[in-house]
Amino acid sequence: MKRLGSIGAVVLAALWARADAPAGRYTIANGTVRDNQTMLTWQQTLDASTVSWAGASTYCMSLVLDGGGFRVPSASELQTIVEEGRAGPSIDATAFPATPAVGFWTSSAQRNVAGSAWLVSFDDGEVSPSPTSTLAPVRCVR
């Protein structure tokens, strides 16, 4: 097998880090992103604030963007917009600009552990538990 030289490896790494979702995957309109694969509609840009797990639900339910009807996504729903070919953030930057490479709240509570819920990281796509009092961003879905 032929090895890449250092320049080839750098070019390949740069291309890998910029991989976006396939053309036609998302439809962007009115501040929302429609995922044409899952049929979920996402909040496109984020509020600069961070909230607790309970605050995430309150925030999403009060979001009036494009007619409202938003909620906190489950861990499996949020993982559908993680772009495995990207890192820091691991999300399509065209569809979801200025997404920080941090953990985002999900509606999924950690089983058998009171006061803990799951975060999906847009640094690397990892899912990890966190105390529900932790302040983190939320990307709402409907």
Domain coordinates in residue numbering, the chain = 6-131
Mean pLDDT of 68-92: 94
Predicted confidence (pLDDT) at residue 31 exceeds the cutoff of 80: yes
Specify the residue for token string 């890192």. 87
For residue 116, give the 3-state DSSP assignment: strand
- CA 118/CA 9 separation, integer angstroms: 35
Share of the chain above pLDDT 90, in %: 77
- Average pLDDT score over residue span 38-66: 96
More confident residue, 81 or 9: 81
Spatial separation of the C-alpha atoms in residues 5 and 139, rounded to whole Å: 40
Global pTM? 0.83
CA dist list (Å): 71 to 1, 11, 23, 48: 49, 40, 27, 18
3-class secondary-structure state, position 69: coil
Of 13-22, 23-32, 82-91, 103-112, least confident by mean pLDDT is 13-22
pLDDT of residue 21: 65
Cα three-residue angle 121-31-84, rounded to 5 degrees: 30
pLDDT surpassing 70 at residue 10: no
| pLDDT-derived band at 30, boundaries 50, 70, 90 | very high
What CA–CA distance (Å, rounded) separates 6 from 8? 5
Contacts of 41 (CB under 8 A, 6+ apart): 32, 33, 34, 35, 66, 141, 142
Q: Residue 64 has what pLDDT?
A: 94
